[in-house]
Structure formats: C-alpha cells, structure tokens
C-alpha cells in the first residue's frame, strides 16, 4: 500500500464578505472594477459561491485589498493522507471498482444485418 496526499483548500470569500456586511455578489463588482478587475456578474457569482480551480493573482490581490486581508484569510490549504492499493503492474494505486453500481453498466451492443 502507498500513501498519497490529496490536496484541497477551503475558499472563504463568502465569510470575508459577511464579515464586511456584504451579502450580495453584486456588491463586489464595483469594488473589483475600482481596482481594474472587470468580471461579469456570472463570474463574480461563481467566484463567491464556488471554489475556484484557477485564480488570477490580480483578482486575489484585489480581494485582499478590498477586505484588508491576506491570502491566508481567503484560502485555507488542506492536505489529507489517503491509502491506496497498489496496482498489479505499476506504481499508481488501483481504483476501487467494487463501489460501482452494476445497474449502471451499459448493455452489450448487438449488431444485426437489416437485410436478414
């Protein structure tokens, strides 16, 4: 068995907004625009409600400036050690296929000749 580290993070923009009495994502748009960050309403909504997979450093710096905080106040890293079974022929852990629902497997296709 090998140990793998799963890296993740908690995105705390919503908590920073609440601490500054900001309850709507639309309140963030003009503050970002003042700092040269022009995002659509949908982009700002996703930035607040979802964990971003990629984040521009300019956006991060603007958020830190708006809330007078550091990146540590917006992002809390999290690393979890997991155990994975080693695959038979390689270094990568084997997938746990026993958790798949057999009812969700596709049926085998049958090819027939329409002229027969």
Per-residue tens of pLDDT for the chain, all 116 residues: 667 788 899 999 999 999 999 999 999 999 999 999 999 999 999 999 999 999 999 999 999 999 999 999 999 998 877 766 555 555 555 554 455 565 666 677 788 888 86
**Has residue 76 been placed in a domain?**
no
**Has residue 18 been placed in a domain?**
yes
**Has residue 65 been placed in a domain?**
yes
User: Would you state the pLDDT for residue 112?
Assistant: 83
**Has residue 100 been placed in a domain?**
no
Give 64-87 as a 3 state SS string.
HHHHCCCHHHHEEEEEEEEEECEC
User: Would you state the pLDDT for residue 107?
Assistant: 74
**Has residue 94 been placed in a domain?**
no
Q: Is the pTM of this model over 0.75?
A: no
**Has residue 106 been placed in a domain?**
no
**Has residue 77 been placed in a domain?**
no
C-alpha distances (whole Å) from 46 to each of 29, 42, 50, 55, 57 are 12, 6, 5, 12, 17
Q: Give the number of domains in the chain.
A: 1
**Has residue 81 been placed in a domain?**
no
Distance CA 63, CA 55 (A): 11
User: Would you state the pLDDT for residue 95?
Assistant: 52
Q: CA-based Rg of the chain, rounded to a whole angstrom?
A: 23
Structural domain of 22: 12-71
């Amino acid at each position: 068995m090998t140990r793998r580290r799963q890296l993740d993070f908690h995105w705390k923009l919503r908590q920073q907004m609440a601490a500054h009495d900001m309850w709507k994502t639309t309140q963030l748009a003009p503050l970002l625009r003042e700092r040269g960050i022009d995002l659509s309403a949908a982009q700002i909504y996703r930035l607040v409600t979802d964990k971003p997979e990629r984040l521009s450093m300019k956006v991060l710096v603007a958020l830190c400036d708006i809330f007078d905080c550091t990146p540590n106040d917006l992002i809390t890293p999290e690393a979890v050690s997991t155990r994975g079974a080693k695959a038979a022929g390689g270094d990568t852990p084997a997938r746990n296929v026993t958790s798949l629902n057999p009812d969700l497997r596709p049926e085998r296709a049958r090819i027939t000749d329409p002229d027969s």
